[in-house]
Amino acid sequence: MSSFEEAEARLLERIEMLGEVTDTPGALTRTFLSRANQEAAALVASWMKGAGMRVGHDAGGTIRGVLGANIERRTPNIEHRSERQREEGDAARPLLLGSHIDTVIDAGKYDGALGVLIAIAALEVTGPLAFPVHVLGFSDEEGVRFQATYLGSRACVGALGAEMLEMRDAEGISLEEALERARAGKLREGEGRPTQNIERRRSPVEGVQVEASVPAVVSAELEHPLSGIRLEEFRYGPGECRGYVEVHIEQARVLEEAGEAVGVVSAISGQSRLKITIRGQADHAGTTPMHLRKDALTGAAECVLAVERLARDSANAAAGLMATVGKLEVSPGAGNVIPGEVRFALDFRHPDDGERERLLEGLLGQFGDIAAARGLEAFAKTMQSNAAVPCDAALTARLLDAAEPLTGKRRLLPSGAGHDGVMMATAMPIAMLFVRCRAGLSHHPDEYASPEDVGAALKVLVEFLRGVG
Ligand code: GLV
Ligand code: MN
Ligand code: MN
């Protein structure tokens, strides 16, 4: 066990260290099962072990630390029991804490990492509780690599369906192959393995080598980032756990405007992610008459503007619609060829599921009209669709109780961002604590939560853990 001050200081240091583990020197990027993602898991594992946890790694790439129960602190509890646990006794039912260790491209260092590291720090302060606690570092929450989110937490609750295993990344690697490679200890094509503290990585400029530092604990200890970590399947069935609690930066401005360090989440907004394809005809840029062209990019551009128009409509904006096109691929992608096909990613969120579905249907209709008017074809593929998820009343009340002495408020706020709790909620009650982040900025390298606010969140989590029955 550690003093609060020691654990807090280590937490702040670890946030910095984990923020250095990246696939792209000069920017923080750790996508699902990339080398850096696996190195991050190994680094987190070393901290979990230091905090007295047994560490395992599941087939979905999630790192898990288990802190066994302190038998003397055990108390009976009768809610949410599975058959197995009734036989074993309720004391075995674990509480889950954590967040994700993957990042977006050119990310900030708090999104995800904070929730994993603060859980370890809190348990360093409390020591074992009356029941087991599992700390989870999910391998994928952002969905960058396969354009479908929550892969780590999905696997943990048994929701990674066979159809998802066929999804392919930009290199054509299927999700199933990616998981097999990680299981077999192989990295992705073109990725070497760290052998010393300073390693050479491929520069974006062909043939030019750049140097990037890797934390010594990773490269000194490990041949393959996952070696030494037990691979095991772990899965949480309905009713088997006390709940899942995640600490995360707010990624919006509510707490900043209220002048409060932390707040408690009421619900997580629903979201749909789609891949839209606009198909036309590639042709010569210098000879094809303008009125005969089937330019997929000009059609896609109109669609993107239709997305923006819909989300900026004052009624939709006031109701909380958020719609974004954040990725666009143009084929064949040459300056002197009319674009024959464009694929773009549509991210569509609304606090009200019915409205999300209604507005999305209308928008897809507009895409069809835009395409038809230009002699193009439009296709939409839903990559994922999640309903809004309310947080559990009892766990939320406990978090509010723990936060109130610090902030003087019982602040509840919604989450527009998606979180692993969406998946975990299919098998257990969930709750979330938000930490103020500067200017609400996130998914950006300047993302920042002050040491004081991180310390405040640690205090609340420790207090919360001490009060959970
Ligand atoms: C996760 O960061 C999201 O996209 O909401
Ligand atoms: Mn994120
Ligand atoms: Mn996140």
- Decide whether any atom of ligand 1 lies within 6 Å of the 418 Cβ: yes
Look at residues 202, 217, 235 and name the one whose alpha carbon lies nearest to residue 136. 235
Secondary structure percentages of the chain, helix, strand, coil, to 5: 35, 25, 40
Supply the pLDDT for residue 88.
52
Q: Is the pLDDT confidence value at 3 over 60?
A: yes
Q: Is the pLDDT confidence value at 251 over 70?
A: yes
Q: Is the pLDDT confidence value at 247 over 70?
A: yes
Please state the atom number of ligand 1 nearest to the C-alpha of residue 442.
Answer: 2
Distance in Å, CA 301 to ligand 2 centroid: 26
Supply the pLDDT for residue 413.
93
CA distance 188 to 223: 15
- Decide whether any atom of ligand 1 lies within 6 Å of the 341 Cβ: no
Instruction: Encode pLDDT of 402-417 as tens digits.
Output: 999 999 999 999 999 9
CA distance 463 to 448: 24
Name the closest ligand to CA 443.
2
Name the closest ligand to CA 270.
1
Supply the pLDDT for residue 217.
34
Please state the atom number of ligand 1 nearest to the C-alpha of residue 141.
Answer: 1
Q: Is the pLDDT confidence value at 111 over 70?
A: yes
Quick one: which H or E segment has residue 385? Answer: strand 377-386
Please, what is the end-to-end C-alpha distance for the chain in angstroms?
21
CA distance 97 to 313: 39
Name the closest ligand to CA 415.
1
Look at residues 223, 262, 239 and name the one whose alpha carbon lies nearest to residue 88. 239
CA angle 107, 8, 250 (to 5 degrees): 40
* Number of helices followed by number of strands (H, E) in the chain: 15, 18
Name the closest ligand to CA 249.
3
Supply the pLDDT for residue 214.
33
Supply the pLDDT for residue 187.
63
Supply the pLDDT for residue 57.
83
Distance in Å, CA 153 to ligand 3 centroid: 12
Q: Is the pLDDT confidence value at 229 over 80?
A: no
Which residues are close to ligand 3, an ion, with C-beta < 5 A? Answer: 111-112
Name the closest ligand to CA 418.
1
Instruction: Encode pLDDT of 183-209 as tens digits.
Output: 777 665 445 443 222 333 333 333 333
Pocket test for ligand 1, best of 141, 384, 423, 437 (most atoms within 8 A of CB): 141
Name the DSSP letter for residue 434.
Answer: E
Average pLDDT of the segment spanning 291-312 = 98
Supply the pLDDT for residue 424.
97
Supply the pLDDT for residue 21.
96
Please state the atom number of ligand 1 nearest to the C-alpha of residue 443.
Answer: 2
Instruction: Encode pLDDT of 117-171 as tens digits.
Output: 999 999 999 999 999 999 999 999 999 999 888 999 999 998 888 888 899 999 9
- Decide whether any atom of ligand 1 lies within 6 Å of the 250 Cβ: no
Amino acid at 311: A
Supply the pLDDT for residue 89.
54
- Decide whether any atom of ligand 1 lies within 6 Å of the 194 Cβ: no
Tell the residue nearest (CA) to atom 1 of ligand 1: 418
In the sheet with 322-331, reading across from the earlier edge strand, the strands are 322-331, 341-350, 270-279, 377-386
Q: Which of 172-181, 220-229, 377-386 has the lowest mean pLDDT?
A: 220-229
Q: In this prediction, what percent of the chain has a pLDDT beyond 90? A: 76
- Please answer whether residues 288 and 261 qualify as being in contact, where contact means their C-beta atoms are separated by less than 8 angstroms: no
Distance in Å, CA 114 to ligand 2 centroid: 12
- Decide whether any atom of ligand 1 lies within 6 Å of the 115 Cβ: no
Which residues are close to ligand 2, an ion, with C-beta < 5 A? Answer: 111
Instruction: Encode pLDDT of 370-394 as tens digits.
Output: 999 999 999 999 998 999 999 999 9
Q: Is the pLDDT confidence value at 59 over 80?
A: no
Name the DSSP letter for residue 23.
Answer: S
Q: Exposed e or buried b for every residue in 233-260, given b needs 16+ CB within 10 A?
A: ebebeebbbbbbbbbbbbbbeebeeeeb
Instruction: Encode pLDDT of 61-84 as tens digits.
Output: 899 999 999 866 654 444 445 555
- Decide whether any atom of ligand 1 lies within 6 Å of the 417 Cβ: yes
Q: What is the dihedral of CA 389, 395, 397, 400, to 10 degrees?
A: -90
- Decide whether any atom of ligand 1 lies within 6 Å of the 252 Cβ: no
Supply the pLDDT for residue 60.
79
- Decide whether any atom of ligand 1 lies within 6 Å of the 240 Cβ: no
Question: Which phi and psi (to 5°) does residue 430 adopt?
Answer: -130, 160
DSSP 162-212: HHHHT-B-TTS-BHHHHHHHHHTT---TT-----SSEEEEE-SSTT-EEEE
Question: Where does the pLDDT of residue 439 fall: very low under 50, low under 70, confident under 90, or very high at 90 and above?
Answer: very high
Average pLDDT of the segment spanning 273-280 = 97
Q: What is the mean pLDDT of the chain?
A: 88
Average pLDDT of the segment spanning 38-67 = 91
Supply the pLDDT for residue 468.
86
Instruction: Encode pLDDT of 313-371 as tens digits.
Output: 999 999 999 999 999 999 999 999 999 999 999 999 998 999 999 999 999 999 999 99
CA atoms within 13 A on the CB side of 445: 10
Average pLDDT of the segment spanning 273-286 = 98
Q: In this prediction, what percent of the chain has a pLDDT beyond 70? A: 86
Distance in Å, CA 101 to ligand 3 centroid: 9
- Decide whether any atom of ligand 1 lies within 6 Å of the 157 Cβ: no
Supply the pLDDT for residue 73.
64
Supply the pLDDT for residue 232.
54
